[in-house]
Amino acid sequence: DRFVEVAHEALIRGWPKLRLWIDSDRQSLLVNRRLSDASVEWDDSARNDSYLYVGVRLAEAEEWSLTHADVLNPLEQEFLRESIELRNKKTAAELRQKQFRRSAFLAMAGGAFAAFLAIFAFVCFFHSQQARKESQVLSLAFASRNQLKVNNDRALLLAVEAGRAVEAMEDRRFVVDEVDKALRSVLLWQGDTLHILSGHTNSVSFATWNSEGTRILSASYDGTARVWDAENGKELICLTGHTAAVYHAAWNRAETRIVTASWDSTARIWDAENGKELVCLTGHAGRVDNAAWNEAGTRIVTASDDRTARVWDAENGKELACLTGHTVGIWQAAWNRAGTRIVTASRDNTARIWDAENGKELACLTGHNDWVTQAAWNRAGTRIVTASCDGTVRV
């Protein structure tokens, strides 16, 4: 095992991570020591329930045990198990008592003693059955929430099983909240980092998923774009060739090709399977900030700091149209679904619509009083939404 030997106490003050390790370990040891002492006292008291953990102390020990189960001795395990079982029984009993008092009051209010006895007998029988079901549901809900940080899949299965058990109950008023909390906790759980995709040697400017969620494409200031396995975080392909930062990257719809936009004034098309460079799109006189495929994967539009956007043939790299009219650099360009129109977003505070075939400007969208950073079409191609540094979004 790795360990740290402190040569001087100044190291603790000057090494925040070491101090965090020490504080974390100290808290863990404190919980363990309390649990050990409490389990011995419980055993010495002939295992009297009054010595079991309750409330905050139980919650703390229960959470700690999820990651330290291997250090618990048999007595400590039994002590914690009995404490949890007692809590579940008490919770179920409290719920039953509330319902019992309500039912008894209603019966007494009728004034008929015989009817009250009959109702009372029925309520007692009902509660015995209800108590068993409630205890089962609560155990599933509590187990789900306890598994959340350990095994998310198991937590989800337990929460779903609790939900099914609740659905089978006639009276679910007193347990439905706990089941709802368990389900919400699982569904809203953000979890921990699954993979760290390391390999870039400078800032990463952009990352995107493929359509199936099995691959990730990233672009970096180190001059490369990379493709990663989303399951294990392994680097699959490194696209090298640009001589300056790669600011943006995108798959075509079939995900057989990748286009990259770079500050070396070029965009490049790559084979998505082997990373081979296929075409270099040259012609811009400034950095290229964005590149986008049309729906068919036959055309690419690039947006540049040289105040132009350009349309290219994706097969041979030939420039087909140059969209001129913006007075400052262009952040982004996007096709409509039909591939007949292009919208551009610029630092001249406007967005503009262009004919994708001949490059003619069709409309200038004015109103923003700061840079327009993004523009996007709706699915029908009848509306455009723009985002700006002026703090507004406009349609």
Contact 218, 207 (CB under 8 A): yes
Lowest mean pLDDT among 31-40, 206-215, 228-237, 321-330: 31-40
Whether the pLDDT of residue 305 is over 70: the answer is yes
pLDDT over 90 percentage in the chain = 47
The band of 302, judged by pLDDT with boundaries at 50, 70 and 90, is: very high
Residues linked to residue 238 through DSSP beta bridges, in sequence order: 226
What is the pLDDT, as a whole number, of residue 4?
52
Q: Is the dihedral of CA 70, 72, 73, 76 positive or negative?
A: negative
In this prediction the pTM is 0.55
Tokens of 62: 């229960």
Rounded Cα distance between 217 and 231, Å, is 13
Tens of pLDDT, residue by residue over 201-236, are 998 999 999 988 899 999 999 999 999 998 888 999
Rounded Cα distance between 216 and 264, Å, is 23
- CATH number 2.130.10.10 is the correct assignment for the domain at 204-394: yes
Residues linked to residue 269 through DSSP beta bridges, in sequence order: 259, 279
Tens of pLDDT, residue by residue over 138-171, are 777 777 777 766 677 777 788 788 778 777 776 6
pLDDT over 70 percentage in the chain = 80
Residues linked to residue 303 through DSSP beta bridges, in sequence order: 290, 309
Rounded Cα distance between 32 and 11, Å, is 27
What is the pLDDT, as a whole number, of residue 1?
45
Taking residues 281-285, what's their average pLDDT?
A: 95
Side-chain-side CA neighbours of residue 15 (13 Å): 14
Rounded Cα distance between 289 and 267, Å, is 9
3-state secondary structure of 209: strand
Side-chain-side CA neighbours of residue 269 (13 Å): 24
Return the residue matching tokens 């009728």.
Answer: 110
3-state secondary structure of 256: coil
The band of 130, judged by pLDDT with boundaries at 50, 70 and 90, is: low
The residues, ordered by sequence, that sit 6+ positions from 156 with a Cβ below 8 Å of its Cβ are: 144, 186
Taking residues 91-96, what's their average pLDDT?
A: 74
The band of 104, judged by pLDDT with boundaries at 50, 70 and 90, is: low
Angle separating helix axes 16-44 and 74-109, nearest 10 degrees: 70
Contact 297, 254 (CB under 8 A): yes
Looking at per-residue pLDDT, the higher value among 241 and 143 belongs to: 241
Contact 131, 92 (CB under 8 A): yes
Looking at per-residue pLDDT, the higher value among 310 and 36 belongs to: 310
Taking residues 169-188, what's their average pLDDT?
A: 73
The residues, ordered by sequence, that sit 6+ positions from 88 with a Cβ below 8 Å of its Cβ are: 135, 138, 139, 142
Taking residues 243-258, what's their average pLDDT?
A: 94
Rounded Cα distance between 167 and 173, Å, is 11
Would you kindly state where each structural domain of the chain is located, as residue ranges? Answer: 11-188, 204-394
Whether the pLDDT of residue 292 is over 90: the answer is yes
Looking at per-residue pLDDT, the higher value among 118 and 57 belongs to: 57
What is the pLDDT, as a whole number, of residue 192?
62
The band of 365, judged by pLDDT with boundaries at 50, 70 and 90, is: very high
What is the pLDDT, as a whole number, of residue 18?
46
What is the pLDDT, as a whole number, of residue 69?
74
Residues linked to residue 291 through DSSP beta bridges, in sequence order: 302
Taking residues 384-394, what's their average pLDDT?
A: 93
Tokens of 58: 């139980």
Whether the pLDDT of residue 28 is over 60: the answer is yes
The band of 103, judged by pLDDT with boundaries at 50, 70 and 90, is: low
Rounded Cα distance between 101 and 149, Å, is 38
User: Hey, which bits of the chain come out as E strands?
Assistant: 204-209, 215-220, 225-229, 235-239, 246-251, 257-262, 267-271, 277-281, 288-293, 299-304, 308-313, 319-324, 330-335, 341-346, 351-355, 361-365, 372-377, 384-388, 393-394
The band of 123, judged by pLDDT with boundaries at 50, 70 and 90, is: low
Lowest mean pLDDT among 132-146, 258-272, 365-379: 132-146
Q: How far is CA 208 from the centre of its chain?
A: 14
Side-chain-side CA neighbours of residue 300 (13 Å): 31
Lowest mean pLDDT among 81-85, 130-134, 214-218: 130-134
Q: How far is CA 150 from the centre of its chain?
A: 17
Q: How far is CA 387 from CA 9, 21, 123, 292, in A?
A: 53, 44, 63, 18
Q: Is the dihedral of CA 120, 122, 128, 133 positive or negative?
A: negative
Within 10 A of 236 (CB to CB), how many other CB atoms are there? 14
Mean pLDDT of the chain: 82
What is the pLDDT, as a whole number, of residue 21?
47
